[in-house]
Chain A
Amino acid sequence: MEILVCVKRVPDTSENEIELNRAGNDIEREDLVYSVNEWDNYAMEEAIRIVEKNGGNVTVATVGGEDDEEVLRRALAMGANRSVLISDAAFAGSDGAGIARLLKAFVEKNHFDLILTGAQAEDGAAQVGGMLAALLDYPFAALVDSIELLDGAKLKVSREIEGGNKELNEIDLPCVLSIETGINEPRYVGMRSIQMVAAVEIPILGAAELGIDAASAGKAAAKVHRTDYFMPAASKGAEILNGGRAEVIDRMIELVRAKGGLK
């Protein structure tokens, strides 16, 4: 099984408080800790497990700049066989559809049976996987939380739906699946294993290598544009209890009791 996993390097929300920069046009990116998008990490783990069990190769790709190489190296340390950085100055400002068109160009120059993406990234858009599938005319399933190989030509996948229920589907290969967190328990990737792949050459593919018209991606081709960032308007907002911990606890108990939460 030849598997492609599409990953993204994002600011790690468990390590950072996301704040507005002074100009208000972006988040404050100084001193941000970045990591692989959480959903993509589960997709990576799933791909590696499938290949460990059934043979094949895992290729990992990202669209970005040289800083993004670190998530590819981490993926190699995790067990990917090959990685590529899709990067070109012309690609800057791509919207979701632009990213999907770049990935499509890469897929068409290769052969993959299965393509995995994370269900969503830090922007919560949850769209590149579905777009890529539609561009390739491959079947797609979003929010997948289990994958079972039925034979060489199809999979049985479970999708998360409302109320904790699962929707089971049979899907033909090649296909694109967007992967939910919790599908597996991603392995730990230590510094040592990352050092072992430090010297691996990661190919960089630009518009020329992908054989695409640079005008089909990037800001000029984008239909969707983000103009600014702002802090959400505090609606009514919580009444924040201040003071020493003992005092806060007393006040909280009083409030919870008044609402019937304590006898």
Chain B
Amino acid sequence: MARIFAYIAHKDGTADDMAAELLAAAKLIDAGSSPTAVVTGSGPQLDSVCKTLRDSYAEIWKVSKAELAYPNAELVRQALVAILPPGCIVLLPHSHFGVDLGPGLSIKLKAASVSDVIAIEGAEGNRLKVVRQEFGGQISTHVWFDISSGAVIQIRPGALKPTAMAPVGGKVVDKSSAVGVLKAGRRYLETVVAESGDVDISKEPVLISIGRGIQEQDNVHIAEELAEAMGAAVSCSRPVVDAKWLPRSRQVGSSGHTVKPKVYLACGISGSFQHLAGIQGNPFIVAINKNPKAPIFQVADVGIVDDILEFLPELTTKIRAMTK
């Protein structure tokens, strides 16, 4: 089996949580593998990342260069192409960064590319079999791919059970000198931090969250009235923000905010993994959706198959009558 590398993202000197999940992925691909962590960056923060990774990875390759202080995927790709051996397997998170890096990297490595993998069934010779989802999680597929010339595999964050970190005292190998001057046609300028908006949904204990099922802006008041009756706040999934019916500060998901409520009412939300990634702290989830096959029903505690445009107003009326 080819050598396995896991690219570990990091921030403020701390390795990303995916470090443990990518380690788990490597073991599922090849139980006997001892994957190598790869980190890129610069300065003392990179060293502190390497230090934590020594507790789980037997070997850590680091590339330290001033140009890599910010993880510009175009530059990271060049660095990886310079150091990775031919035919290797590269594991990445299927994140905003992984999507930016992985597909192009696979072309440069002449390797197979499979993204958003949620389960790994194992390898038979040069064929690796994995599970993916399509149609926003409504249906799953088995995919196999030829790893004889290597592979770039993007793993969905949160999909695999992380491997428990056992101190292995890994060694850090400095690969910086193998990487020449990095220069790309895309230059990082700055990060614009999201505005918090009028309501901080990340601190609300009860959220009435609406999705595409709300259908039009004129229906948003249905959720607002229920929220008022319950003393809750209104949040939403991405399509509601794309349509500009609610501001981005109300969006729950990997491109929006992470929330940790006690109770989460998912109203007309299908439940894409990007949305679910924003719901933390194991809240009690009630899903109301007219499509009984909506993926949200797989993660909800309680499901109601109904049209939110009719259900929510009746619910509001009932709660108002009770609390009067």
- Please tell me which one of the listed residues B141, B185, B193 contacts residue A228 in the complex, with CB atoms under 8 A apart: B141
- Chain B's closest residue to A182 (CB) is B242
Q: Mark B155-173, 1 if CB is under 8 A from A, else 0.
A: 0000000000000000000
Q: Mark B172-208, 1 if CB is under 8 A from A, else 0.
A: 0000000000001111111111100000000001100
Stretch of B29-37, B106-114, B217-225 contacting A (4+ beta carbons < 8 Å): B106-114
- Please tell me which one of the listed residues A11, A14, A229, A239 contacts residue B303 in the complex, with CB atoms under 8 A apart: A239
- The reply to whether B143 and A225 form a contact with Cβ atoms under 8 Å apart is yes
Among B96, B184, B206, B315, max chain A CB count under 10 A is at B96
B154 CB to closest chain A CB, in angstroms?
Answer: 9
- The reply to whether A96 and B134 form a contact with Cβ atoms under 8 Å apart is no
Take A125-B115, A130-B103, A134-B107 as given contacts and tell me if A161 and B191 are in contact as well, using a CB distance cutoff of 8 Å.
Answer: yes
Distance A232 CA – B304 CA, assembled complex (angstroms): 19
Residues from chain A with a CB closer than 8 A to the CB of B129 are: 227
Among B113, B254, B299, B323, max chain A CB count under 10 A is at B113
Take A11-B135, A125-B115, A163-B258 as given contacts and tell me if A227 and B143 are in contact as well, using a CB distance cutoff of 8 Å.
Answer: yes
- The reply to whether B135 and A169 form a contact with Cβ atoms under 8 Å apart is no
**A contact residues, total (Cβ < 8 Å):** 84
- The reply to whether A17 and B142 form a contact with Cβ atoms under 8 Å apart is no
- The reply to whether A232 and B133 form a contact with Cβ atoms under 8 Å apart is yes
**B contact residues, total (Cβ < 8 Å):** 100
- Please tell me which one of the listed residues A127, A180, A245, A253 contacts residue B311 in the complex, with CB atoms under 8 A apart: A245
Distance A256 CA – B283 CA, assembled complex (angstroms): 11
Distance A178 CA – B184 CA, assembled complex (angstroms): 18
Residues from chain B with a CB closer than 8 A to the CB of A130 are: 99-104, 107
Residues of A contacting B: mostly = mixed
- The reply to whether A229 and B140 form a contact with Cβ atoms under 8 Å apart is yes
Among B185, B189, B306, max chain A CB count under 10 A is at B185
Please tell me if B228 contacts chain A, counting CB pairs below 8 Å: no
Take A170-B187, A171-B185, A172-B186 as given contacts and tell me if A249 and B315 are in contact as well, using a CB distance cutoff of 8 Å.
Answer: yes
- Please tell me which one of the listed residues B113, B143, B257 contacts residue A131 in the complex, with CB atoms under 8 A apart: B113
Stretch of B38-46, B54-62, B82-90, B290-298 contacting A (4+ beta carbons < 8 Å): B290-298
B316 CB to closest chain A CB, in angstroms?
Answer: 10
A105 CB to closest chain B CB, in angstroms?
Answer: 14
- The reply to whether A235 and B114 form a contact with Cβ atoms under 8 Å apart is no
- Chain A's closest residue to B109 (CB) is A134
- Chain A's closest residue to B95 (CB) is A162
Distance A181 CA – B249 CA, assembled complex (angstroms): 16
**7 closest pairs, A vs B, by CB?**
A261-B263, A130-B103, A139-B185, A238-B303, A164-B194, A182-B242, A134-B104
